[in-house]
Chains A and B, each alone.
Chain A
Amino acid sequence: MMFTATIRVFPKSEVRDPQGEAVRGALRSLGIAVSDVRTGKEIIVTFEAADENAARDAVGVMGRELLANPVIELYEFTLIAGVPV
């Protein structure tokens, strides 16, 4: 059956996020008093798996082996059955 995983990858809290710092500066220049900005990315993957457990295992492999670097990043995901409309 088809599954869709939405995987969110973001830098660990102890890793500096220079992109987030630049965005924070830009938001402040818009006059908004933001205190902190962290940036990351979202990756949406549609794939076939036998069942939900197999799908979760597959997303774990994607996260560990490619989408996140465990030295500097964390990832989390949501999984739904089917394909987004």
Chain B
Amino acid sequence: MTRVAILRYPGTWSERDFQHALSLVPGVESDILWHEDADLAGYDAAIVPGGFTYGDYVRAGAIAKISPATRALRRFAEAGKLVLGSCNGFQILCEAGLLPGALVRNRGLEFRCDWVHMRVESDKTSWTAGLQGAVLRMPIAHGEGCWVADDETLSDVESRGQVVFRYTDERGGATPASNPNGSLANIAGVCNEGRNVVGLMPHPERCSEALLGGTDGYRVLANLAPAMAGTAPAIYR
């Protein structure tokens, strides 16, 4: 059994969606943990869901980064355990320094609520095993998802294979038109150097069963059940 902790901060809104999506994955059980007393002992993976923690005050994710849960998460990540952050969770992980770069206001200032395509650029993370080169279709819903970094960081992230997801068209072409928010190099998700922490702006939990219009999120989350890695879509489509 894989045990997954789902962190809930004030203003988190996707924790129950994640719990539901994970309930579809055989061999995975999850708990929602309140940020003030989140004890990650005994868990194999932690998820930082989307939302608007602390009303996005100061910057998206800035206040959540000094929460007790984020301190626990830092130790958890340093111990090599798996961490996934989606949307506001990605912003929190970048603010906390667990992932490179930062997420700023979308180019054009629009809040984007849409379906996007993205290509899996690296299967060398526990969340993307078996998915190298796959073009996934997932929903986004964010106003501050434009990933930026200085030239040196961008160059490092690219050369070390830390780009995990890149916005593309449905055929896998990383065109300007397929970039929903102005992110540098169409980057939709990155990992840390240790490759155990992954963040992305799209929402895998919102496309994990056919009823919701897509199952590509399930292909990511199903990697938590080792026997399922990369094979899930055949079952769920």
Interface on A for B, CB 8 Å cutoff?
11, 14-16, 18-19, 22, 65-67, 69, 71-72
Report whether A72 and B105 are in contact in the complex, using a CB–CB cutoff of 8 Å.
Answer: no
- Pick from A11, A16, A67 the residue with the most CB of B within 10 Å: A16
28 contacts between A and B (CB under 8 A): A11-B104, A15-B104, A15-B148, A16-B104, A16-B107, A16-B182, A18-B105, A18-B106, A18-B107, A18-B108, A19-B105, A19-B109, A65-B66, A66-B58, A66-B62, A66-B63, A66-B66, A67-B58, A69-B62, A69-B102, A71-B101, A71-B148, A71-B149, A71-B150, A71-B153, A72-B102, A72-B104, A72-B148
Tell me if B59 counts as interface (CB < 8 A to partner A). yes
Closest-CB distance, B157 to chain A (whole angstroms)? 12
Contact residues of B between 58 and 117, Cβ < 8 Å to A: 58-59, 62-63, 66, 94-95, 101-102, 104-109
Q: How far, in whole Å, are A67 and B57 apart by their CA atoms in the complex?
A: 10
CB contacts (< 8 Å) of B150 on chain A: these are 14, 71
Interface on B for A, CB 8 Å cutoff?
58-59, 62-63, 66, 94-95, 101-102, 104-109, 148-150, 153, 182
